[in-house]
Amino acid sequence: MVNNIPTIAGTARLGDPFSSLAGAVGSPPEHYGNPLGEQRRLAAGEAIVDLSDRAVLTIVGPDRLSWLDSLTSQSLTHLAPGDSTETLLLDPTGRLQYAVRVLDDGVTTWLLLEADEAAGLLGWLTTMRFMLRVELADVSAEFATIGTLGSPAIDAAAPNGVPLVWRDPWSAVQAGGHQYSVVTEHPGGAWTYSELLVARDALAAASAFPVAGTLALEALRIAAWRPRAATEVDDKTIPHELDWLRSAVHLNKGCYRGQETVAKVHNLGHPPRRLVMLHVDGSEGVHAVAGSVVTRDGVPVGQVTSAALHYELGPIALAVIKRAVEATAGLSVAVGDVVLSAIQEVIVPTDAGAEANVPRLPRLGAVHR
């Protein structure tokens, strides 16, 4: 039976204690008056971020892990109490619909996701229960999410005796996964991000800890090349384009929706687009924003998906561009009437995919020389 508790888009957002703190701008706060200083504290593991606008769904029942495993891209049946991972729900053509952070406590599987995705995912999962022993609920009005890159002395909720702490698997290539990036040191290796679930009536106590805004978190996420569904994904996205096989796809598990596309592109083809990080010229005093058009020699080749001012790197952005754009090509970002030069840092290479390395056979009638 689906729980009809009000969602965080409504009454549960009222009275957010973080938004009442000195200097807070926005709800959840984007910053508290010093975005760059907040980045430093967050990167050092000394601050927390209010993410209480995020959604939380639960699945209970003995079939919960095997059922979710059969529907999504990650291998989930092995999850032990306290383990966390992430998984993707794809459409039949392999396009990405939902990116879900998954945590299991031995009794309940907890799904963490963007607020505007909760209703759609919950509705679709409900239609897929059939005769399996699973029950779903939206518990966003009961539990709130807090982000951190450290280990704050905050008691995470533990309704079944296991603290609800989701640890981001982006820090390393997961079992069954694959990384397209060929850098010696992936910036995700230093990404120590985690999310804690706390009871909403405990948010006031949590707000007493050192805080950083969502702008700080976004800047550090971009620098770690970490994709996010709310920003990097559109209606054409396949996981390969964002190097998301690194942490959210198990290439050797059983069948799931969209698997054929995942396998074909990875083994035989190439993703049509690729994720890059851009170092954007900031001398004009204008910064790139999500949706800014990326051009090469005046020709549009993609768009910015996320942008930030990093406390060390300066203006940076993630962008999805056409695969065929050379890795050494100079790019520009159009922001209104201002065109900013940008240097690309390759995340997904132009030759990503075709891992099977199938030898090319001569066409019938071809002349051999």
Q: Which domains does the chain have, with CATH numbers?
A: 11-246 (3.30.1360.120), 272-346 (2.40.30.110)
* pLDDT < 70: residue spans in the chain: 1-15, 357-369
Residue 178: per-residue pLDDT: 97
Residue 15: per-residue pLDDT: 60
Summarised one tens digit per residue, pLDDT across range 74-114 is 999 999 999 999 999 999 999 999 999 999 999 999 999 99
Helix runs in the chain, H state only: 35-43, 64-71, 118-127, 203-206, 214-223, 229-232, 259-267
Helix, coil or strand: residue 90: strand
**How many residues make up the chain in this entry?**
369
Task: State the distance between the two ends of the chain, measured CA to CA, in whole angstroms.
Answer: 69
Residue in the block written with tokens 């010229």: 281
Please spell the DSSP secondary structure of 119-130, one letter per residue: HHHHHHHHHT-T
Residue 357: per-residue pLDDT: 62
Residue in the block written with tokens 């056979």: 361
Q: Is-above-0.75 flag for pTM?
A: yes
Joined together, the tokens standing for residue 155 give 């008691």
**What is the rounded CA–CA span in Å between residue 339 and residue 284?**
9
**What is the rounded CA–CA span in Å between residue 16 and residue 28?**
8
Residue 131: per-residue pLDDT: 81
